[in-house]
A and B are shown apart, each in its own frame.
Chain A
Amino acid sequence: MPDFFDEENPREWAYPIEYGLETRVECDVLVIGGGIAGCHAAIAAARRGTRVAILDKGPIIRSGSGGAGVDHWHAACLNPCSKVTPDDLAEYVQKTPYRQTTEYGNAITCAILARESYDTLLDLERMGVRVRDIDDEFVGSEFRDEKTKLLFAYDYEAKHCIRIQGWNVKPALHRELKRLGVAVYDRVMGTNLLTEGGAPGQRVVGATAVNVRTGRFYVFRARCVILATARPFRLWVFSTELQGQASSFFDPNCTGDGCAMAWNAGAELTLLEQSVPFAGAFRYVPYGTGNAHNSWYACTIVDRNGKEVPWVDRDGRVLQTVAERYRPAPGQRFFLSCPDVPYEYQGPRLIPDLAQRIREGEYQLPLYADLPSMPQDERRVIFGLMLAHEGNTRIPVYATYAAAGFNPSRDMLQASLLPPDGYTWGPWWNSVPVPQWREVGRLVNGGGLVFDWNLRTTLPGLYAAGEQLACGANHAASATTGRYAGRNAADAARKTAQPKASEQQIEAEKNRVYAPVRRSKGLGWKEVQAGLCRIMQDYCGEYRSAPALELGLQWLDSIEEGEYASIWARNPHELMRTLEVGVRLAVGRAIMHASLAREASSEALGFKRLDFPSIDPPEWHKLVTIKTDGEKVVVGSLDCDYPLKPPFASTCEENYRQHCALSL
């Protein structure tokens, strides 16, 4: 159908055009972002009897990074089989650098996660998600508890991570939103927060938004607002040429809208200087190459000659059986699944000197995931459950590979061919990172909003949940912090009068939003997007320094008043993408300011300052915070242990009891 792409004679837009038309919505709790955290937040608030509205750029039935499924559920400490307690995980967080960089987040998110993870799973089960082996397919398996029919991942003794059949988790949440009468706004992008009197730093009283199909403008007024959008992604690399938007693990709509809104409104942000390198569009299909990590844990790996790569425990003792890969070391109570944890928590792994032994010729590439040699139940649970239910695997891996003839009982999936050092850490489908191509944070944790034990941000009326929290973590953490924020916001909303929004602020935002569609020519969004990525790579890449960051900020300003001011959008979809470029300009600026503010390098934060090479000096063992105050950027700091210092209580248990909005 070449006529669809005829630029000289374009067709009419596919949906009614409603530029300038306005819908006004009044509610008690507004949730911005309808992913995992947002849905759980909206459901929790609605169950408390408040009027809730939720909006998302995508369709809530599938939107968000958890929208295509989930296969394992972390930190289910209160499940009847778990030998790990919330206090165990709290202790672990206290033993890590900066206390915020774990796969469970910080003391606050970890306390919420550990206490509510299993209950949230039971809630999902009531909504129709399969969280047990109800078909009795795995009767007798070591990872199955016969009484509860729960299936466990990783540590089969401590049983704190549950394998679930979560491909349909989002449709179930969507059904529950509808059942509870939550007002659902699909394809509606939040553009900015409304504040009392329209001034930054004041109470948040709602938000503006635009429909990405029709261009209609929305004004939401709310007693409380929950930001449940994700971390900013694709800020250093934006290329759709090789594999569309699959150049990042994270949902393409996760552009940092919430971060930009919070930054513009004057909320405090932290840890935005933390980043990791990645391979951009040169990575492979997620979970789609031979692996021994994450959802593939703990698949046997062989080299091209069929020689098995040994598994060892944390002391380097070679494990003789497959079963031992799922057990703590002698004398160890439990292990955690992440590789870079302190010794106390380290689990079984492939030999750590694999790279060296490949170089010496002991193991010859390519390596393969030897599913056929795995015990039948382990093979079935890896390929048939994990790779059929984890996000971005059911169709892209299970269905596609099965249709192509891949048979897990007979075939060994090849691991991607990497330089030897690439095999030191998994997952191998991530390929080899490029130093100046970065993502904010780590794989499951990163910078965002400063928050307290109520999940309130530093702006009155504004809560945060999931990845929007500085150090928000995995799927279960998003779900649990979502509902915790939902309860707290609902309770606070009942005590708050319906606030007024500033008509002046609304008018100004409307003008800003529609500027790209008022132009009859200009630059396309992709060029400006790619250009600003280049600024991030060059001036805010692996090595940062004050002169380069200051110049980078100058170039961002220059792009904003130059190329960005001439960006144009030919329909509401392009309008969304142009607004996202504006989001990334704001977030890029915030990241550069955060990077300037930390005058020290840090290994744990993946942060290198050429002009401050000293690594993790004790005086910088703190959280650097940044916020805007008019044109000024204000830098502050927080104790890494702030969750357990006054005005808060000294234990997670006590703080949780005081702030969880439940009668315990």
Chain B
Amino acid sequence: MEARLVPNPQMPCRPLTFDEDVCQGCNICVDVCRADVMVPNPRKGFPPVVLYPDECWFCGCCVGHCPRPGAITMNHPLGQRVGWKRKESGEFYRVGMKNPPPPYSEPPVGGW
């Protein structure tokens, strides 16, 4: 167990997280972000640095333009993770819960 001298996080959640094994550091997400929340990683080929997470608008354009599905995830803050009720069973679920139900796989109208 360690203790470090570090500041608080800039905001409660991490709006964007990267899977380093999937992301190839192409920086398309950096260039489509309206608020310029990311900068390219000085190490080529690595995920961008999320320098200004507090300026994220949660529009998801970075995810939408990512050529490698799964490389970026957009995460709503905990206070925004809404719930639903399964009609036939009356069970309650929410975004971000432990042991979620299987994903819904139907693509949107017009496809991804």
- A interface residue numbers (CB < 8 A to B): 1-2, 4-5, 11, 14-15, 58-59, 61-64, 67-68, 130, 135, 137, 165, 167, 187, 212-213, 240-246, 251-253, 284-285, 288-290, 368, 370, 372-373, 380-381, 384-385, 388-389, 391-392, 394-396, 398-408, 410-414, 416, 573
Contacts and interface: CB of A to CB of B under 8 A. Distances in A.
Contact of A385 (B84, B101, B105, B108): B108
A1 to B, nearest CB: 7
Chain A facing B: main interface SS: loop
10 contacts: A1-B49, A2-B4, A59-B31, A59-B33, A59-B34, A68-B60, A165-B110, A167-B110, A243-B58, A245-B55
B71 to A, nearest CB: 13
A2 B6 contact: yes
Nearest to A248: B57
Nearest to A71: B109
Contact of A399 (B10, B36, B63): B63
B3 interface: no
B21 interface: no
A320 B66 CA distance: 45
Contact of B7 (A5, A412, A416): A5
A212 B58 CA distance: 21
A584 to B, nearest CB: 15
Contacts of A368: 84-85
A253 B95 contact: no
Contact of A414 (B55, B84, B102): B84
B102 A405 contact: yes
Contacts of A5: 7
Interface in B39-88: 39-40, 42, 49, 51-61, 63-65, 74, 76-77, 79-80, 82-88
Contacts of A14: 39-40, 42, 49, 51
B56 to A, nearest CB: 4
Contact of A392 (B42, B58, B95, B101): B58
B53 to A, nearest CB: 7
Nearest to B111: A135
A528 B55 CA distance: 16
Nearest to A14: B39
B86 A410 contact: yes
Contacts of B77: 242-243
B11 A241 contact: yes
Contact of B103 (A243, A403, A573): A403
Residue with the highest number of chain B CB atoms closer than 10 Å, among A370, A408, A411, A413: A411
Contacts of B2: none
Given A384-B108, A404-B96, A405-B93, A241 B12 contact: yes
B109 A243 contact: no
A589 to B, nearest CB: 25
B110 A394 contact: no
A649 to B, nearest CB: 41
A394 B94 CA distance: 18
Contact of B109 (A212, A380, A400, A406): A380
Nearest to A244: B56
Contacts of A61: 31-32
Nearest to B41: A1
Given A370-B87, A410-B87, A58 B101 contact: no
B55 A240 contact: yes
Contact of A573 (B36, B74, B102, B109): B36
B86 A411 contact: yes
A402 B84 contact: no
Nearest to B46: A1
A407 B59 contact: no
A392 B109 contact: no
B95 A404 contact: yes
| Shortest beta-carbon contacts, A-B, top 10 | A395-B60, A388-B108, A405-B101, A14-B39, A58-B34, A240-B54, A385-B109, A244-B56, A68-B59, A165-B110
A168 B35 CA distance: 19
Contacts of A391: 59
Contact of A242 (B57, B74, B79, B96): B79
Given A64-B34, A68-B60, A404-B94, 16 more contacts: A2-B6, A14-B40, A15-B39, A213-B36, A243-B11, A245-B35, A246-B56, A252-B35, A394-B108, A395-B60, A395-B74, A400-B74, A401-B104, A406-B95, A408-B104, A411-B85
Nearest to A408: B104
Contacts of B10: 240
Contacts of A1: 49
Residue among A58, A243, A288 with most chain B CB within 10 A: A243
A252 B42 CA distance: 27
Contact of A407 (B55, B79, B101): B101
A290 to B, nearest CB: 8
A414 B60 contact: no
Contacts of B110: 130, 135, 165, 167, 385, 388-389
B58 A285 contact: yes
A159 B11 CA distance: 45
A656 B54 CA distance: 45
